[in-house]
Structure 1
Amino acid sequence: MHRHGAPRRTAAGPGRTTPRPVPRGAAPLLAAGLLLGVPLLGGCTSASGGDPEPAPTSPASPSSSGGTSTTAASAPATAPPRQPPAELTEGQVNAAVARIDGYAQNALAKTGVPGLALAVVYKDKVIHAKGLGVRQLGKPEAVDPDTVFQLASVSKPIASTVVAGVVGQKVVEWDDPVTAHDPGFALADPWVSGHVTIADLFAHRSGLPDHAGDLLEDLGYQRDYILQHLREHQLAPFRASYAYTNYGLTEAAAAVAKAKGVAWEDLAADVLYKPLGMNSTSSLRSAYDSAANKATPHVRDAAGWQVSTTENPDPQAPAGGVSSTVQDLGRWMRLQLADGTFEGKQIVDPAGLNETRLPQTVSSPTTAPAGRTGFYGLGWNVSYDPEGRLRLNHSGAFSLGAATVVTLLPSEQLGIVVLTNGQPSGVPEAVAEEFFDLAQYGHETVDWLGFMGKVVPAAAQSPASPTDYATPPAGAAPAKPDSAYLGTYGNDYFGPMTVSSGDGGGLVMSLGPDNLRFPLQHYDGDVFSFRTRGENAAGLSGVTFAVGADGKAATVVVEQFDHDGLGTFTRS
């Protein structure tokens, strides 16, 4: 197994680093965004494992009066004490609300995203809720505030709210070892297995690699199998590294549910959804599927926007499986901004909730003098705005057709949620940032739609495999006879793989509990390619057979599955 983060040989040839998959459920705190003090896309690393394409240069930080801040070079030798920011007035907030629908409508027109819903909470009231666009292209039904959307990784701060409620019931503590409630859970290091806590997994600091387990979900494996196989991943330094893991967080939530003796989906409903009257909210995909008023996912290809179908996120429900409406989420934001109180009743313990808002780990160290360090709390991106105020944020993204964001400014009792039914394009993030600009300054400080429209799609791009070409390279060596490759190969993580003859000739690779079939296309010598599928699809990816002296392949390396050195299959 290769050391986490080290360059690896790929299935397509030596000396190339393995492409990372398209992020599932959410996307990263990008360095470009942090230059602006804006936490982008939920907190996972970029698809390439590094920074996106260069972003526009950061503007000077706006002052509370709407101007720009004084530079260090021109500052007086003894600067006066910084004054706390003036509280936003009701007039400022109302003025921003009056303009945000027009901005959102323009964003839909410019990008083609089919539909959007947003809600604004201020001083314990939902002061605005609006639907724009259509639920599905080609059909007339309009989005309204009661349209159900898939939330993707906006599910994470909802999950941490649920756990905070259970912490308040004195059933668990954030610092409980996970094995205290789920004794069968283990990671690769026995010491880490016994010490990793609920908070460690919610803060993505367990040492698990980025998006560990997501590819198993793409193959059709269910939650129990995926959680049991997290132990196959080599760990980065415990509590000294950050890597966004849907299934690490899911394990922590599942352990809390076991402590209560119920399924997670029921726990979320009992602790949060029912007490708040979130009647259109669920952690089950079946609820979204059966909703009469729901937003259909869409993706964009060369022909434009098309109706799509997202994968079933039930296996990672705490991390990415919630569906809801902006009306319901307005209730949840009210509870957040009122420290766990809703309509005069304490629903969630404020101390347990406050833990979720503290910086737990550095998610994105600053990379520029004007940059800002990014932090992750417990299910939240935690940052501080140019005025020094606490800012909570999370985005969600399904590459197969959903993009969402929620941002709270607790000191102002102000928050916005924006939901869309299109693949990540920067629209929800742009709308949210525009709203806070309008409230604070009365005008836009950055071309948010242009900025987010560059960095958000860039974060979702996966580098192309060397095998991702329609035809083999010039001078390609011929393949050996099919008999050299046919057979069954084992893998402790991904399970068995069978290579068989296709109905129309050629080779077919079959994997997963449902034996998903992937036709193989010859590339060069013993290297083939297959078209990846699912949320983490990344075009064509390489499959390299190592053929021995007996004329039979002894091992197969699948490039798409080898990000963490787990992609080698051995002939049974």
Structure 2
Amino acid sequence: MALAWLGDARGAPHEASALPDAATIDRAVDDVVERYRLPGIAVGVVAEGEVAYRATRGGLAAGSGDAVNADSVFKIASLTKAMTTAVLARLVDAGRLNWNDPVIQYLPDFRMHDPWVTRHIQVRDLLIHNSGLGAGAGDLMLWPEPNAFTRADIVAALAHLKPTHGFRERYAYDNLLYVVAGEVAAAAAGKPYAQLVREEVFQPLGMDRCQVGSWSREAVGNVAQPHMLQDGRSVVVRADGALVPDSPSMAAGGIRCSLGDMLKWMQAWLDEPHPKHPWLSDTQRRVLWTLHMPMPISQRMRDWDGTRMYGYGYGWRVSDVDGVWKVAHTGTLMGMYASLVLLPDLDTGFVILTNGEGEQARTVLEQVLLEHFTRRGVATPGVGHYAALLEQDRAMRPASTPRAPDTSARRPASADALRDQQGVWRDPWFGEVELCPHEGDLRFRARKSPRLDGRVMEVGNRWLVDWDDASVDAEPWLAFEAGDDKHRRMRLSHVDPTADFSYDYADLDFRRVAPCEDSP
């Protein structure tokens, strides 16, 4: 299904946007920073083709004294996806590929779990979350970073990830197929993905602070670091080293940009294409902003925005808000939250970049800014109103809503615990993990993902892993069962059923392949 927003045919329901009220937005930004204790934030607005507002607050890293400014580089996370699809669209304009080409035309070794899907999945299917995989399937190969997985590992792993529903049946967010899309672009153009992004996006649009691939933190400078709240204050987690690596997640969520860069990116989309030398043809702009895969409309979207239409384009989410066409996306990584919203009917857009634990802050500020433009001339609620609604939603969750169990009675498992289950275990896509004694504890260690290292804890008659790294914030239960081949299996599941789906423990299916190295 594809649904295009026919803006010219229906006529714009609102008058052209006026310039933003800087004082009103300043108050909202300050309120959000204070309320949610954000270490740093950058906010910008484009209106009527020009940068109409910019604001920065806070620092690159807590306690560093280095202030955020318009050139500070932030992780934009899944805002990257629209840059990946822009690269593909430029290749379509150049005649190098077509959206309906089979993926195996460019990646002959590519395999999905179902051979029929392998033969029929097209480039377009990589972009709209309709593959049949469950939400976040295989994301443990991408995050937490750093890890030792490669893009080749990711492509090979897809053959082992079992679908949870039918191909093209419904929407379920995934990241791995965007990694594949980056590899398709590289194969079609004969250049690495990072080089393509620089040549097809950054250079023609003048986005000279954006970073892709591997780069030097010192040489680039002015790089925001991620934070999480610990004991009520923001602390740096997963700080960058001297060399920022070219991570396998790059095409799905690995690009970093400054506020200034993102304002140029927004202007490129809101400006009319140059008739003789367009950066991207009008045809491909429309393709990227067409609703290709319907998405569920939440009650909050109905209540807050009056949304009646919502779905995924190519790297963009398409919806209506207060009768206005909205093209947008969010970006989420540990300690970094971003949002980009375009309102093409109003020739307006805005971007929010934060380097703190800011999911609620992003939700609230985005809503306040949205209504600042979509309900022009009408008194609209502020930050406090929407923050209170979020708190009310949490307080009024039905009793049947899954909740995290109380695990406070946990105690470290002894080195002799689970003696019959200790050893090296292997999953066909995630690789090997150790469940072995170490310095008096029983520990779980993933060989390719060093942050997934922790003590096994006993909780009643159950076992869980308490990760050493506090930024790995989703603990798994461990369970053991007999497999179909009479070999034992180890399965993982979320302790907190509301944990982020990128901790896709349910997709793991370990079989024991060797004893612990020091076992007799």
TM-score interval w.r.t. the shorter chain?
A: 0.7 to 0.9
Counterpart pick for 2:50 among 125, 134, 137: 125
Q: Is the 8 A contact 2:181 2:251 kept in 1?
A: no
CA contact (8 A) 2:78 2:332 kept: yes
* SS, match of residue 27 in structure 2: helix
8 Å CA contact retained: 1:528, 1:544: yes
Which residue identity lines up with residue 569 of structure 1 in the other structure?
Answer: R
| Structure 2 length-normalised TM | 0.82
The secondary structure found in structure 2 opposite 1:426 is helix
Q: Does 1:428 align with 2:353?
A: no
* 2:458 is the alignment partner of 1:522: yes
d(CA) in 2 for partners of 1:541, 1:463: 16
Q: Per-residue displacement from partner, 1:30-72 (whole Å, max 9, x unpaired)?
A: xxxxxxxxxxxxxxxxxxxxxxxxxxxxxxxxxxxxxxxxxxx
| Residue 325 of structure 2, aligned match among 390, 408, 427 | 390
- Give 1:300's match in structure 2, choosing from 229, 253, 271: 229
Structure 1: stretches of 5+ with no match in the other structure? 1-81
Contact 2:445 2:453 in 1 (8 A): yes
Q: 1:199 aligns with which of 124, 130, 133?
A: 124
Query: After superposition, where does 1:282-297 map in structure 2 within 5 Å?
Result: 282-284=211-213, 286=215, 290-297=219-226
The one-letter code sitting in structure 2 at the alignment partner of 1:303 is G
Query: What's the counterpart of residue 469 of structure 1?
Result: 408
2:19 is the alignment partner of 1:93: yes
**Cα–Cα, structure 1 residues 180 and 86, in superposed 2: closer, same or farther, change >3 Å?**
same
Counterpart residue type for residue 224 of structure 2: A
- Structure 1 distance, partners of 2:212, 2:388, is 30
Task: Identify if the C-alpha distance between structure 1 residues 546 and 141 changes in structure 2 by more than 3 Å, giving closer, same or farther.
Answer: same
Instruction: For 1:444 and 1:162, locate their aligned partners in 2 and report how far apart those are by CA, in whole Å.
Output: 41
SS of equivalent to 1:559 = strand
Q: Which residue of 1 aligns with 2:112?
A: 187
Q: Helix, strand or coil: the match of 1:314?
A: coil
CA shift, 1:330, in A, is 1.2
The structural deviation recorded for 1:458 is 8.8
Query: How far apart are the structure 2 equivalents of 1:214 and 1:144?
Result: 32
1:40-439 aligned within 5 A? 84-89=12-17, 92-94=18-20, 96-218=21-143, 220=147, 221-235=149-163, 236-284=165-213, 286=215, 290-309=219-238, 314-341=247-274, 345-365=277-297, 372-387=308-323, 389-398=324-333, 400-439=334-373
AA matched with 2:466? R
Q: Give the letter aligned to residue 232 of structure 2.
A: A
Is 2:476 the partner of 1:541? yes
Residue in 1 that maps onto 2:424: 488
Distance 2:32 2:102 in 1: 45
Q: Which residues of 2 match residues 428-467 of structure 1 at below 5 A?
A: 428-439=362-373, 440-443=375-378, 445-448=380-383, 450-451=385-386, 455=390, 466=405
- Higher RCO (C-alpha under 8 Å, 6+ residues apart): 1
Q: Structure 1 residues 488, 225: closer, same or farther in 2, change over 3 A?
A: same
Q: Is the 8 A contact 2:441 2:455 kept in 1?
A: yes
Return the offset for 1:562: 6.8
- The CA distance in 2 between the partners of 1:420 and 1:508, in whole Å, is 35
**SS of 2:319 mapped into structure 1:** strand
The residue that corresponds to 2:397 in the other structure is none
Q: CA deviation at 1:493?
A: 2.1
Displacement, 1:480?
6.8
CA deviations on 1:83-120 (whole Å, 9 max, x unpaired) are 8524224xx324x3342123212211222101111221
Quick check: 2:432–2:448 contact (8 Å CA) kept in 1?
no
Per-residue deviation, 1:310: 6.2
What TM-score do the two structures reach when normalised by structure 1?
0.75
CA contact (8 A) 1:165 1:353 kept: no
Judging changes above 3 Å, is the alpha-carbon distance between structure 1 residues 269 and 519 closer, same or farther for their aligned structure 2 residues? Answer: same
Q: How many residues align structurally?
A: 476
Q: Is the 8 A contact 2:416 2:437 kept in 1?
A: no
- 1:556 matched residue in structure 2: 490
**Contact 1:203 1:376 survives alignment (8 Å):** yes
- Distance in 2, Cα, partners of 1:173 & 1:517: 43
**Larger CA deviation: 277-286 vs 257-266:** 277-286
Work out the CA distance in 1 between the residues paired with 2:319 and 2:470.
29
Cα deviations across residues 123-145 of structure 1 (Å, max 9, x unaligned)?
32222223222222213222111
Aligned equivalents of 1:169 and 1:83: distance in 2?
32
Asked if residue 567 in structure 1 is aligned to residue 495 in structure 2, the reply is no
In structure 2, do the counterparts of structure 1 residues 112 and 537 end up closer, same or farther at CA, with 3 Å as the change threshold? same
Q: Deviations over 1:290-348 (max 9, x none)?
A: 53112221111333221222697821111111100111111111111125559x84112
Which amino acid in the other structure matches residue 406 of structure 1? L
> Aligned pair in 2 of structure 1 residues 271, 412: CA closer, same or farther (>3 Å)?
same
1:150–1:507 distance in 2 versus 1, CA, 3 Å: same
Aligned-pair identity in percent equals 24
Q: Which amino acid aligns with 2:261?
A: D
Would you say the 8 A contact 1:174–1:199 is kept in 2?
yes
In structure 2, C-alpha distance between the alignment counterparts of 1:118 and 1:456, rounded to whole Å: 24
Q: Deviations over 1:177-213 (max 9, x none)?
A: 2111111111111111111122112111111211112
SS in 2 for 1:544: strand
Provide the rounded CA distance (Å) in 2 between the counterparts of 1:518 and 1:192.
37
- 1:428 alignment partner, SS class: helix
What CA distance in whole angstroms lies between the structure 2 residues aligned with 1:452 and 1:231? Answer: 43
Paired residues of 1:391 and 1:410 also in contact (CA < 8 A): yes
On the 8 A contact 1:425/1:456 being kept in 2, the answer is no
Counterpart residue identity of residue 377, structure 1? G
Tell me the SS of whatever aligns to 2:65. Answer: coil
Distance in 1 (alpha carbons) for counterparts of 2:287 and 2:474: 41
Deviates more, 1:353-362 or 1:363-372: 363-372
Note closer, same or farther for the CA distance 1:535–1:300 as it changes in structure 2 (3 Å cut): closer
